[in-house]
Amino acid sequence: MTKRQQSLQKLHGLPDQEVEDAIKQLTLHVKARLRFGSIADRTKSGAHSETNLGVEPVDYYVGESIRRLFDPNGWIWQFEKRSLAEQLKRIANKIISDKVQTYKRGKETAPLPIDKDVSDCFDIPEEVEVDEEVFAKVRELSYELSKDDDNLAYFALRYFEGADESTIATELGFTVKDIYVLRKKLVRRLISHKDELSD
């Protein structure tokens, strides 16, 4: 039996309640990624809008994630390592990122810039006392500088909402190490625009 056949056999043998619970978790995850219903709702326009997708955004990403996992030629569920909900979230993350890239390619004629290695980035000490005005500037600049990167934008939003790295990693389906890489990337971008913070 192939890995794909094992995956499908496992999927079709799941209790209905387990599938329903996984879909509920997936739906909440997609809403979080799209910031659905918030001031920064990403479904109002752009890549994740109903105009671009052709259907209601949350329904699109939830439905497409499920379809790709259960399709005979779709994703293989790594059931030894991940729960059904975790696998569906990973698929949703990939679909969301791919949709952003497709949308950008449709709007831009120039190639997308390639980020440099973030290993040479220096972290800013976290325990530096700053006033509310400076903090607000850093937050708004972070949102602006990360808007071209789906995962980085999500990290910035949740970080300034007070979520810790472990929580953000779980929501994105990443490792905590991946989140630290995102943090370094954001810090690097902030450092390159430090003059804007002193205005």
- Would you list the domain boundaries of the chain? 3-107, 118-197
Closest of 38, 174, 156 to residue 94, by C-alpha: 174
Read off the DSSP letter of residue 45: S
Task: State the pLDDT confidence band at 20, using cuts at 50, 70 and 90.
Answer: very high
Label residue 107 by pLDDT band (50, 70, 90): low
Length of the chain in residues, anyone?
199
* Interhelix angle 84-107/57-70, nearest 10 degrees: 120
Rg (CA), the chain: 19
Q: Taking residues 131-153, what's their average pLDDT?
A: 80
> pLDDT of 32-70, one tens digit each?
888 888 878 889 888 899 988 888 999 999 999 999 888
Residue 126's pLDDT is what?
36
Q: Which residue has the higher pLDDT, 124 or 137?
A: 137
For the ranges 49-53, 120-124, 156-160, 173-177, the maximum mean pLDDT occurs at 49-53
What percent of the chain has a predicted confidence (pLDDT) above 70? 83
CA distances from 109 to 100, 103, 104, 146 (A): 15, 12, 9, 20
Q: Can you give the pLDDT at residue 28?
A: 92
CA–CA dist 114, 123 (Å, integer): 21
Q: What H or E segment, with its residue span, contains residue 88?
A: helix 84-107
pLDDT-derived band at 83, boundaries 50, 70, 90:
very high
Whole-angstrom distance, CA of residue 5 vs CA of residue 106: 37
Question: Which pLDDT tens digit goes with each residue over 159-168?
Answer: 877 777 788 8
| Better-scored residue on pLDDT, 110 or 36 | 36
Q: And the tokens for 108?
A: 């831009």
Whether the CB-CB separation of 165 and 176 falls below 8 Å is answered with: yes
- Give the chain's mean pLDDT: 79
